[in-house]
Structure 1
Amino acid sequence: MNPYPREPSNRTTIAVATTEGYSSRPGGAQAELLAEVNKYESDRNLDLVLTEFRNYQQGILPAGPGARSLTEFFASVDEKLEPAAAPAPRTQRSDRDVLNLLTKRAKTLHIGPANFCWFTDPSRALCLKLAGTPTADRPLVGMCDSARCPQATHHPCHRLVRAEHAARTKTFLGDLGKTRKTEHARLQNDYDRAIRIVAEIDAATLHQPDEDSV
């Protein structure tokens, strides 16, 4: 037996160097990774809010229970950018000017599978009420019922997902036997909700989609 320990391979050295830094201590790789993820999410949210604000300026409005609140917010931002009393013609302000006003609202944005959640008031979040955790500091996106939550909105980017869901549900309804009344009622409610959301998105959009409705 060789009495001297073998030098670690390059692969072992890399593995140790990679894994030993993943700790929660300040400066560890875990903290750096979390900071990068948070930065990415922050930038993504700002981009999404800016996109929806520009949509608002073009007459493409949000839909859903939280639409009025978000529209009022966008209106207040627009007013700050372009005061009514300003004598100069209306001009498009730079994205940086707009982002400075949108940053606070962007921090409340959480992305649902087919909706946006604006988590501005935990006490109004339907998911937290259903879960019995009204004081939580984050929404339970997996439990979101965006058709009823007052902080949820639907946008044109969500239309395709909703329409496809409605189409699949309609197919399932057609395949159910007449004796499966409970399942039929549940799917019918699901289908009606999806169709209603699609209709609300279309109604809030001046530029109607080219594809046929479900």
Structure 2
Amino acid sequence: MTWYAQEILLRATPAALQAVRNSALLAPFAYHLHSLQDIDWYLPEHRHGLPQDGLLVIRPVCAATAQGAQWHEEAILDTASLPLNPGTLHCLQADIATPLADQVPETSLPSVHLRSMLATLAKQLHETVVYYACGMWGGDLDFEYCLSYEPQETLFATDVCGHGHHTQRALHQALKSIGLTLPSAFFAPHTRSFDWAAHRLA
């Protein structure tokens, strides 16, 4: 079964919530997760919390041509529509494509517009901002990476080629950078039954 996640993750601080509400680009795609009380955890070891202040998720965020863009079957925040801030280009790594080239489809590589916007948001909020991208088929990872901005950019990627069985998944590293440690591979918002509509940012 095919599954994708392409999203921006950050702590739902009052400043972050206000900044996203005030953004005509981000607000229509924003969700505020402040409780997971209605989740079916399946197993006790799946149970996890949320970062302090809750979790702010902006989704789905990808290029209209990206692998998975049509799979979402809902409007996407097309990264081509994001403004480029030349003042944050120095925060970005010189080459993101090369370390991801063997595992990530070219169309799913993050654009410089997206990366610049995330660095700008991190600088504005004085908060870590994460972009997480993942593609699965039949329960196996096709690709998984995250970019973390403080506002300096850091790349975490899961080795899906069979060499990284004992490496930490990018998802865990991304969430840990914003104050959430998962006790297992289960992450409630990444289940098909998760009720996103109930968490839409007002």
TM-score by length of 2: 0.25
Higher strand share: 2
TM-score calculated relative to the size of structure 1: 0.24
Greater per-residue helix proportion: 1
Structure exhibiting the larger radius of gyration computed from Cα positions: 1
Higher relative contact order (CA 8 A, sep 6+): 2
